[in-house]
Chains A and B, each alone.
Chain A
Amino acid sequence: MSWQAVAEKDFRDAIRSRLLLALTVLFVLFAGGSAYFAAVSVFIPVVAIAAAYRAVAGERQSGSLKLLLSLPNSREDIVFGKFLGRAGVVSVALLVGFTVGLFVVATLAEEFSVLEYLVFVFVSLLLAYVFVSVAVGVSAFTASTSRAAYGAFGIFVVFQFLWNVLVAGFVYVGNGFGFPGPEEEFPEWLRTAAEFLTIVDPTAAYQQGVLWVGRQLAESANGQAQAGAATDGPFYVQDWFGFVVLLFWVAVPLLVGYWRFQQVDL
């Protein structure tokens, strides 16, 4: 199984990168300083992309890909091995950061659940893997590292900052180039589509995932369902669906990148 060899080599190589060291330190400061949520959810994708965007394109540009492919590694081994290697590296960086964060939060917070924190770390790793997949996928798709960087960060910016605007634009167009007035209702199909589009954004899905975790923990503590939780409505607005979305985004960018990579001349 040579994807394992590729993953192991890649992990050894990438973990020694100075950039990664810098990002880990930065993340430690972030996680320690602001702990929880908002800032962390923006910073995780940045760490993931920075650690992974060169994965394939960098080797292609430098020529070390020729060494990699002269050995009995298939192109599949390279894309998926690279994903695993970089996911491993990002895991190390985040776990170091979160461990420091754990001590900070445990010291400062009055009420603190270690379990809640651990599950939060787990969901955060999932978000990181989404963007490792995006970065490795784009990296396999293109021959240049600069395009790999623009592509991956571009996708991140769209999801993180522009998605709601795009969904609003979609609603505006779908509603016949106008927002409904105060008394008007959206057409049913448009409301459904907008809800669905909102949740397929992995950064929104991450927040859903965190909500789900919080609710599960609160319910098991109280022994009863919490009011106001998103358990009603169609499946895609329920908070557990966030995990489905995250897993979807771990798989799809890699597959698209691989689809392209396996057919090009190198």
Chain B
Amino acid sequence: MATVELEGVIKRFSNVTALSGIDLTVEDGEIFGFLGPNGAGKSTTINVLLDFVRPDAGSVRVLGRDAREESVAIRSRTGVLPEGFSVYDRLTAREHVAFAIDSKEASDDPEAILQRVGLGDAVDRKAGGFSTGMEQRLALAIALVGKPDLLILDEPSSGLDPNGAREFREIIREEHDRGATVFFSSHILGQVESVCDRVGILRDGEVVAVDSIEGLREAVGGESTLVVETDGLSDGASDTVAGVEGVSDVAVDGTQLRASCTDDAKTAVLATLDEEGVGVSDFSTEETSLETLFSHYTGGGT
């Protein structure tokens, strides 16, 4: 069974097309990463799931229910960390969570939930004085109320330090282990990579790829990135490297050259630099990052 099903979803805002036919299925119990550059339509898609925004065409079903007609029923079994939200400055963290518990008719203990997201020592502080990271933790606490079947997290790690991001990932895994389906959008690819079962890539309001992380890597052709520190680069040298067989992409950053290429082409790249008279002080290889995949699909390369 699918937890989230979008079919041919179209949404226009005045004369801008935000979603131009989204087809997407998130299966029960998986952690699904939703990637795309800003303006690709990630938040609009999430807003459609929550009935904040009504699509012009297409069908949207969440937890087996119609997103438009049965939104309240959907939201009573869903935990949401929205993007661009704000907290109630005059209410304490406890009051926020208590309100969520009331709304969801759940029976959680506000203190325990706040403890879990790392706000154990701010339970009775007013949220007006919270940092962005603390607000984000508070929103996660609200999302966790009532043991939801589906967690929708829109850019959950924005405003968090690396430590906080790691704690969030742990919570996402715990929720997944409990049986929850997790749907989260991000542009921080390393996090998606380390936690997701599958990833969907969104570009200009369309889903351009859905696959597992490994599947996506294979799709791009098992490339990796050769990083070369040089004494100095000319435009001619990098152009010549770009022409080497097996090299798909070359980026230059000061004296550093980054070439996306097949493993076989690495030696050829180094040899070419030598022929061009470029001194090489160091080189290393990076495994294909989601970043590279991302560029590949969204056309945002060099």
Contact = CB atoms under 8 A, between A and B. Distances in A.
Nearest to A67: B85
B87 A9 contact: no
B86 A8 contact: no
Interface string A6-31: 10110011001100000000000000
A73 B91 CA distance: 19
B72 A63 contact: no
Interface residues of B, number: 34
Given A5-B99, A266-B53, A66 B84 contact: yes
Interface in A54-70: 62-64, 66-67, 69-70
B288 interface: no
Given A12-B91, A71-B142, A265-B52, A63 B85 contact: yes
A265 B95 CA distance: 28
B88 A66 contact: no
A47 to B, nearest CB: 19
**A interface secondary structure, majority:** helix
Interface in A37-94: 62-64, 66-67, 69-74
A64 B87 contact: yes
A63 B88 CA distance: 10
B82 interface: yes
Contact of B103 (A2, A12, A62, A66): A2
Contacts of B78: 70
A9 to B, nearest CB: 4
Interface residues of A, number: 23
A232 B83 CA distance: 61
Given A5-B99, A8-B102, A70 B87 contact: no
Contacts of A66: 52, 82-85
A13 B96 CA distance: 10
A62 B86 contact: yes
Contacts of A9: 88, 91, 95, 99, 102
Contact of B90 (A16, A67, A72, A73): A16
A64 B142 contact: no
Given A9-B95, A9-B99, A67 B82 contact: yes
B298 interface: no
A61 to B, nearest CB: 9
Interface in A184-226: none
A193 B95 CA distance: 52
Given A69-B52, A70-B78, 9 more contacts: A8-B99, A9-B102, A13-B90, A66-B82, A66-B85, A67-B85, A71-B104, A72-B76, A74-B72
10 contacts: A9-B95, A64-B85, A64-B88, A66-B82, A67-B142, A70-B78, A73-B72, A73-B75, A265-B54, A266-B53
Interface of B: 13, 47, 50, 52-54, 71-73, 75-76, 78, 80-88, 90-91, 95-96, 99-100, 102-105, 139, 142-143
